[in-house]
Amino acid sequence: MFQTEWAHRQKFLEKEPPAPNFINSTFSAKIDTIKSVQVTRWEEHCLECSPPACYKTCPMYLKRKDNRCMNFHYGMIQNKDFNGQFGYGVDLRFRKWGKLETKLHAKNVSIKQHKSLQNFDKGLTRSIAGISGVFGPKAVNFASRSGYFVMRSLAKNTAAQVEYISFDEFVIECYSFEDDSYNLILEYWKDNEISFKDSVVIKPGQNLHTISSSKMRLKNNGIFRIFPENDKQARIVFQWLDFITYFIESKQVGTQAIKPSEKVKCIAWDLDNTLWDGILIERISDKMVIKPDSLRLIEALDERGILQTIVSKNDHDEAFEMLKKLGLQEYFLHPAINWGQKSENLKTIASKLNINIDTFALIDDSDFERNEVSENLPQVRVYKDTEINDLLSYNELDVIVSEETRNRRQMYQKEIERSEILASYSNDYDKFLRSCMLEIELFVPHLEAEIIRCYELIQRTNQLNLSTNRYAEKDFRSMLQNPYHKCISFSCRDKFGTYGIVGYVTIQEETESILIKDFVLSCRVAQKYVERTVIKWISDVYGISGRDKVYALYKPTERNYKLRDEFISAGFKINGTESDSSIIMIYEKPETNEISGIVKIIDKVFQT
């Protein structure tokens, strides 16, 4: 809800131009997936105020009907040229020092209940307009906020013992009338301290930003503030400004609910009426017409290193031949073109690519197919075909781009080629690996592209990440310069080509020992003895220098057990229990070296 009762519509109409046309809400297409929203009431406040004393001394004071200061030029206008959660957008222009603010009380309600609260609040607003000339400012102010006071009281009673606000994403959908881009600052204050601060770039025209709850971690009963950078007196129309919880099953895996990963790693495309116009079996001409927006998205996703595949109910040979005619077949890995369930096909593709199913998303024009996938795979995101033009602005597709990401598809295609050759070795896996002539080159990252890739691995990798430490980029770069840390990256190649940088290790150096603080590996080289080779190399080179005690930091999650098992196979012992949030593993050098001769080491860390 928004504090619209102090709006000056006539002043707004006189000073502000109308929207260029009716602006629809992109995010509203997802309304059926929303389980609940946080109860909020966004109000206008001042960044510098100390009321009421400032009303007499501040040159910025502009009296409102309740004698408080007007912090927006004409208040908050319900603008029906825009669609949003409530059927309109909330139009405002910040004054200098103006901010938008709400208090959070850990109270979730359904969209229907939220609209009822909004209608109640709107009814009060109409009543206020009728009594503002009769009653004094204090009475008007009390009446205008009575609905919010009731709601806030209910929230406190029902969620008094909740420590953190429960939601999946904070969603900002808005339209900017400014000619240039600027940063919109987001702050959360709890007990007079900032517990979260971030910014989003607001570009001219329509914007959609989402921030995950895991990034924000907002404690209950705090204050959320929004304002433009540099006191910019920007005009903005909010269509959605909400803390959203989606319909996702509450099944537990370990300690976490089944839900999509923070970032998408693979997009699965439907074909008919999604990737191309029309239905293949009903075509009139020899060639289908690919949608221009689809082609642009395919190329952009490929540039970002987001893998793509196909799940389509069609005849495989006919559909794949059409993809060849369109010159698109190279973009798609392990396409599943058959008449089976799309959820089952997605699980098969995830297994072949060796990436988690929760990193997948499906684009499909069919409500039935999207619902089938959502029902059976709630951790997979689903998008309508009408969202294709907006997907690149979604937070889950906003990924770090490097030289490695641009070549990711080609690297996976090389891996498919390796798998096909492996079959010819009658599944003698070690013999196959020796024939591949694998080489690891270890080095300290110095070049900007190397640093970006290492940071991407740290932030992006879950399954093959021993400690799952996450760093702000500035902290990561600072760690690279820390004299007590040895930060090592490693690239890999074989006779088929290069994998690029596939791993990163942070080693904390002590007088007689070392601690492997981070160990991250790309899934593209998993199960190729790369991790064991690197562990043995670390033990050998530091053992020579007198640091024969090797420890590793392990933080158990429901995903990284595979890397834990590799460390155990390499000679590490767990010192603790799996219920501990953080475990130190101790290295005991194995008596035999079963991986000898499989992977060659090129040391550019300690040798020149």
Backbone angles phi, psi at 131, to 5 degrees: -105, -5
- CA distance linking residue 446 with residue 448, whole number of Å: 6
Looking at residue 158, its pLDDT comes to 47
Assign 442 a pLDDT band (cuts: 50, 70, 90): very high
Q: How far is CA 509 from CA 126, 478, 485, 512, in A?
A: 68, 16, 6, 8
Work out the average pLDDT over 114-126.
68
CB of 181 closer than 8 Å to CB of 202: yes
CA–CA gap between residue 492 and residue 20 (Å, rounded): 53
Where is pLDDT greater, at 189 or 143? Answer: 189
Q: Which domains does the chain have, with CATH numbers?
A: 9-116+164-246 (2.60.120.260), 266-397 (3.40.50.1000), 426-603 (3.40.630.30)
Q: What percent of the chain has pLDDT over 90?
A: 42
Residue 217 pLDDT:
79
What pLDDT is attached to residue 135?
Answer: 52
Separation of CA 517 from chain center: 25
Out of 73-82, 155-164, 517-526, 577-586, which region has the weakest mean confidence (pLDDT)? 155-164
DSSP H helices, 132-206, are 137-159
**Does residue 17 have a cis peptide bond before it, meaning omega lies within 30 degrees of 0?**
no
* Residue 112: burial class (beta carbons within 10 Å; 0-12, 13-18, 19+): exposed
The pLDDT of 296-302, averaged and rounded, is 95
- What does the pLDDT average to over 251-269? 68
Q: Please, are residues 498 and 404 in contact by the beta-carbon 8 Å criterion? A: no
Confidence class for position 49, pLDDT limits 50, 70, 90: low
Backbone phi, then psi, for 229, in 5-degree steps? -65, 155
